[in-house]
Structure 1
Amino acid sequence: MTIKTTQTTESVEDFINAFAATPQKKKDGFELLELMKAHTGYEPKMWGPTIIGFGLYHYKSERSKQEGDWPLVGFSPRKAAISLYVYSAAPGQKELLEQLGKFTMGKGCIYVKKLADINTEILKEMISGTIDFLQEKWGKQ
């Protein structure tokens, strides 16, 4: 089984400019871009048509034969909400979620209406925790 979402060479900046539906989403998209780039030390890359990812790890599913590469953390400035891919259920993350601010939770991501609704210092802690957790589990690339 091949994974549909893979790293591409598309421009992250062009994507945000074209995809962010409102001036607020565009502003938040560029702020998140700088925050994650500075905090992770990784250059942003497009993953599939709509996800901006930082770093990568190689995983192998314990339940199926699926394996592949995936960004350590990322986000997408979607129309309804900004999707944050920063949650890994790493130790301490549930407690950080309680301090994050206003969001809703999906299966593997956090949705925020706007960046001002959350505490970016807590977000940085979640990013660090997720990267540490994933690199410990799957190894550094």
Structure 2
Amino acid sequence: MQPTGDDVAGLIARATPAIRRRDAETLTALMQEVSGREPATWGTIIGFGSCHYRYPTGTEGDSGLLGFAPRKAATTIYLFEGADAHAEALAQLGPHTTGAGCLYINDLEQVDLGVLRGILERSLAWMEAGGTEQAQITVTG
């Protein structure tokens, strides 16, 4: 995937329901602060920074270092190292669900933003350190 260059504010403005727009604005500010990078659109994902990833299976591609998507059902936060890597923090986060590499939040106001910040900081550090043998990460931006 590559940055699409679409307007971040426009992507947020088109998100539905209204709670996704509110949460997207909060997450954009939080991820920008944590990453020190400007937001960019990667299709329907808002990403911060960029990297190239490679899995032992041969699957590889490009992505943001941190990113989320304001989906209709829930806001999706992407965690390359997997949700299991954050099990202790997730137990303290508040209402959420997870998938293998995704954290789903229905209402950002119901979660502990300090805990979420810690998850994002640890995820970014993992990415910047190059990942692991399960996923090799090369920071490109």
User: Could you state the TM-score of these two structures normalised by the residue count of structure 2?
Assistant: 0.86
Q: How many residues align?
A: 134
Q: Does 1:10 align with 2:6?
A: yes
Q: For structure 2, which runs of at least 5 residues remain unmatched after alignment? A: 131-136
Q: Summarize the Cα distance change of 1:97–1:103 in structure 2 as closer, same or farther, 3 Å threshold.
A: same
Specify which of 103, 123, 135 is matched with residue 116 of structure 2: 123
Question: How far apart in 2 are the matches of 1:90 and 1:79?
Answer: 21
State the superposition RMSD in angstroms.
1.8
Larger strand proportion, structure 1 or 2? 2
Distance in 2 between residues matched to 1:129 and 1:57, nearest whole Å: 16
Is there any run of 5+ residues in structure 1 with no aligned partner, and where?
none
Does 1:25 find its partner at 2:24? no
CA contact (8 A) 2:83 2:103 kept: no
| Mapping 1:122-141, distance limit 5 Å | 122-137=115-130, 138-141=137-140
Verify the 8 A CA contact 2:51 2:138 in the aligned structure 1. Answer: yes
In 2, are the aligned partners of 1:87 and 1:110 still within 8 Å (CA)? no
Per the TM alignment, residue 91 of structure 1 is displaced from its structure 2 partner at its CA by 9.1
Amino acid at match of 1:118: V
Of the three residues 102, 105, 114, the one matched with 1:109 is 102
* TM-score normalised by structure 1 residue count: 0.86
Displacement over 3 Å in runs of 4+: 89-92
**8 Å CA contact retained: 1:86, 1:110:** yes
> For residues 64 and 88 of structure 2, what CA distance do their matches in structure 1 show?
23
* Identity value in percent: 34
Secondary structure of the corresponding residue to residue 45 of structure 1: strand
Residue identity in the other structure for 1:39: V
The counterpart of 1:79, out of the listed 72, 76, 85, is 72
How many Å apart are 1:136 and its aligned residue? Answer: 1.1
